[in-house]
Amino acid sequence: MHIVCPHCSTSYAINLATLGAGGRTVRCSRCKEVWLARPEDAVEIVAAAPVMAVASQQSSEADAAAEWDALAREDEAGDQDTPVVDSPSIAGDWQDDTETDWASRDDDEDERSSSRLRRVFRLPSIPFVNAPIACAAMGALVLALVIWRVDVVRLLPQTAAFYELVGLDVNLRGLMFKDVKISTETVEGKPVLVIEGVITGETRKPVELPRLRFSVRDAKGTEIYAWNAVLEQSVLKPGERAWFKSKLASPPPEGRNIDIRFFNKRDLAAGSA
C-alpha cells in the first residue's frame, strides 16, 4: 500500500501496521509537508514501469518498510520527533524517464535538422575536366572573340575598349580608308589643301556610305577647323571601291594634322553640318 503527500502528490510505499489504528504524523521528504497518515487513506498503486523500474521499486519498498519499522520502534521508545519519509517516489522515477526521453527526442531532432541542412546546401557535382581539354576550350574561345570581334562589339559596345587595349581594331562599319594622300596646290595665288583616297568594303554584303568628315588639328591635337563631304556613290557593294577627293582653300596656318573619318551621331549632337 502507499500513502500520498497531499501537497506534492508524491507517493510512498508503507506498511499499514506501522501507522497504527489512529494513524501517524509523517513528513514528506520532497516538499517537507507534515500530515496525519491514516490506514484508511492508504491506496494501492500499480506502477506501469519497465522491468528494471519494477525491480528498483521493489527494492525501494523494502527499504521504506524497514525504515518505517525503525520509526515505529523509535515511537515505542518515546521519541516524539516527527519521522521523515525518505523513500524514493514513483513520480520521481517517471520524471527521470521523461527527461531522458525528451533528451533523446532533442538529439533526434538535431540530427534531422542537420540532415536537412546538408541536403539544402549540397553542392552539385562538377565533372572532372583535364588540362588539355580546358586549354583547348579556352583557345577556341579566344579565337572566336578575335574572329567575331565586330559582332561582339556590336552586341556589347563596352568591349571595344578591351580590343583597343590589346591592339585589335574593330571596324563596325565594314569600311576602310586606303591610299590616302594629302597635297597642296595654288589657285589664284592662294594655297589649297587637297585630300584624296579610296574607300574599300570589308564585308560580304553591301554597305551604305555615310558622309565624310575632315578636320584640321594643331600641334597639340586640338581641332581648329572641320568640314563634311558627301560621296557621289551611296552604296558600296562587295569588291567595289569608292574614290573621294576634297579641297580646303586657305587652310589654317597653325594646322599640323588632318583627320579623316565617317560622319556619326556624335557629330549631329555637336551641331556639325
Pair type for strands 190-201 and 175-187: antiparallel
pLDDT at 88: 45
pLDDT at 218: 93
Fold of 175-269: Immunoglobulin-like (2.60.40)
pLDDT at 44: 75
> Tens digits of per-residue pLDDT, 52-97?
444 445 555 555 555 555 555 555 544 444 444 444 444 444 444 4
How large is the C-alpha radius of gyration of the chain?
54
Please tell me the distance from the alpha carbon of residue 97 to that of residue 49, in angstroms, as a whole number: 10
Q: Which residue has the higher pLDDT, 51 or 256?
A: 256
Sheet containing 257-262: order of strands = 223-229, 212-217, 257-262
Strands (E) located in 127-263: 175-187, 190-201, 207-208, 212-217, 223-229, 235-236, 241-249, 257-262
pLDDT at 215: 93
pLDDT at 246: 94
Residue 36 one-letter amino acid: L
pLDDT at 55: 47
> Tens digits of per-residue pLDDT, 198-222?
999 888 889 899 999 999 999 999 9
Average pLDDT score over the chain: 74
Model's pTM, two decimal places? Answer: 0.42
* Mean pLDDT across 236-265: 90
Question: Confidence class of residue 21 from pLDDT cuts 50, 70 and 90?
Answer: confident
Question: Confidence class of residue 243 from pLDDT cuts 50, 70 and 90?
Answer: very high
Check: CB of residue 144 under 8 Å from CB of residue 138.
Answer: no
* Mean pLDDT across 173-192: 90
pLDDT at 247: 93
* Mean pLDDT across 36-49: 71
Question: So where are the chain's domains?
Answer: 2-96, 136-165, 175-269
In which residue are the cell numbers 508524491 written?
A: 10
Please tell me the distance from the alpha carbon of residue 150 to that of residue 144, in angstroms, as a whole number: 11
> Tens digits of per-residue pLDDT, 108-124?
666 666 566 556 555 55
Q: Which are the contacts of 43, defined by CB distance < 8 A and separation ≥ 6?
A: 1, 2, 3, 4, 11
pLDDT at 222: 93
Would the CA dihedral through 83, 84, 88, 89 be positive or negative?
positive
Q: By C-alpha distance, which of 226, 236, 240, 231 is closest to 211?
A: 231
* Mean pLDDT across 167-186: 85
SS3 category, 5? coil
Q: By C-alpha distance, which of 42, 55, 145, 39 is closest to 93?
A: 55
Whether residue 197 is predicted with pLDDT greater than 80 in this model: the reply is: yes
pLDDT at 91: 42
* Mean pLDDT across 19-31: 83
DSSP annotation string for 38-69: -GGG-B-------HHHHHHHHHHHHHHHHHHH
Whether residue 99 is predicted with pLDDT greater than 50 in this model: the reply is: no
Q: By C-alpha distance, which of 218, 214, 198, 200 is closest to 263?
A: 214
